[in-house]
Every structure is written in C-alpha cells, then in structure tokens.
Amino acid sequence: MDSTSSLPPWPRTPPAHGGVLLRRARAGDAAMARELSTDPYVPTIGTLPPHAGDDEALEWINRQHRRYDEGTGFSFAIAEAATDAAVGQCGLWLSQLPDGRATAGYSVAPSARGRGYAADALTALTAFGWTVPGLFRIALYIEPWNVGSTRTAERAGYLREGVLRSHQEIAGVRRDMLLYAAVRPE
C-alpha cells in the first residue's frame, strides 16, 4: 500500500498523545462512523452522509483509506489508547506539501466528547506532521461559532492568525472562517 502513494510512508508506530492513538480506520469502526453521522455539522464538512447506514459508514471508511493511496493525505481513526476503540476521525491533508503546507481536520463522536480526545488527537497529528519531510505549516479553518474546535486548536498549540471573510461555502451558505496555524518547531 505504502509503495503506491506519493506520500511519505504510513507511520510504523501509531502517533499517540494522552488518551488517544491514531491508527488506520477499519470496518469495526462503522458504529462510530454511524454515530458521528448523527451530528448535524459533521456531514456538512466531509463526505459522511447524515444518519449513515452500515453500508454508507463502510463506504466512508473505505474512502478514508483511499485518501492515502490518492496522495491526498493521512486519514486516521482516533482511537482510545486504553481500548483501541474508535472515537473519531482526523486527517492531515497534504496536497500542498510541495509548498511546505498542510491542513488538518478532526471530529469526535458525540458520546466521546468532553474528555480531551480532540485536543490529544490534534496534538498527536501535529507531532506526526513534523515527521513529514518538507512540511513547515499546518492550517486549520474553523467557523467562529465553533468554540469546541477553537479551544481544541489552542490546546494543541495552534495560534489564531485572523478571520477569512466569506472563505468557503458550507451547507449552501458562504462562511467566514477563523484561520489557525502551527509551524514546525525550530
């Protein structure tokens, strides 16, 4: 699998921090994906359909695998370190790697929120990012109302750089986005 991608190798040891580790998604994560799809916001920012059935959840998991093969980036399941049970998903998107830049995103299933998992996952994802040769900057685009996400970014060491007015369309509406970023430590 690794040899078919233009990206650096998949990490031999799952990136980990605090209560989570980041691993490949697998079919057994479908129940988590189905729960994630009940969040009204998650389907608007990715390809998981709202209230996904089993087949849709499995197709979404398969799409996450293809992200690496296609050279789009690394999509990880966020798993509880203690149990290896999936609690969410995060991605490091590397289509701008030739310019030294990446973006990242993350979602945690509603029943697993409020335990620090998103902040732990973003911390692990960011540290993994600095192992990617030629990567110097990771950006996050966050809607101003999404305080859970801005706090997650701050907990993981990202700094707010400004507001991008009318930056993108989500659910048919142009949205302002806050720009957060982390840069490779000296």
Ligand X SMILES: CC(C)(COP(=O)(O)OP(=O)(O)OC[C@H]1O[C@@H](n2cnc3c(N)ncnc32)[C@H](O)[C@@H]1OP(=O)(O)O)[C@@H](O)C(=O)NCCC(=O)NCCS
Task: Quote the CA–CA distance of 72 and 5 in Å, as a whole number.
Answer: 9
Q: How many helices (DSSP H) and strands (DSSP E) are in the chain? A: 4, 8
Residue 126 neighbours by CB under 8 Å, 6+ apart: 104, 138, 156, 157, 158, 182
> In this chain, which stretch among 3-11, 52-60, 104-112, 125-133 interacts with ligand X, using CB under 6 A?
104-112
Q: Which of 86, 119, 138, 182 binds ligand X (CB under 6 A)?
A: 119
- C-alpha distance from residue 57 to each of 17, 30, 110, 128 (Å): 26, 5, 16, 26
**Minimum distance, C-beta of residue 65 to ligand X, in the bound complex (Å):** 21
> In this chain, which stretch among 25-33, 35-43, 92-100, 125-133 interacts with ligand X, using CB under 6 A?
35-43
Contact flag: residue 41 with ligand X (CB under 6 A):
yes
Q: Which of 1, 27, 147, 171 binds ligand X (CB under 6 A)?
A: 147
Task: Quote the CA–CA distance of 115 and 19 in Å, as a whole number.
Answer: 9
Q: Which of 65, 137, 155, 175 binds ligand X (CB under 6 A)?
A: 155
Name the residues that contact ligand X, by CB under 6 A.
Answer: 39, 41-42, 45, 105-108, 113-119, 142, 146-149, 151-152, 155
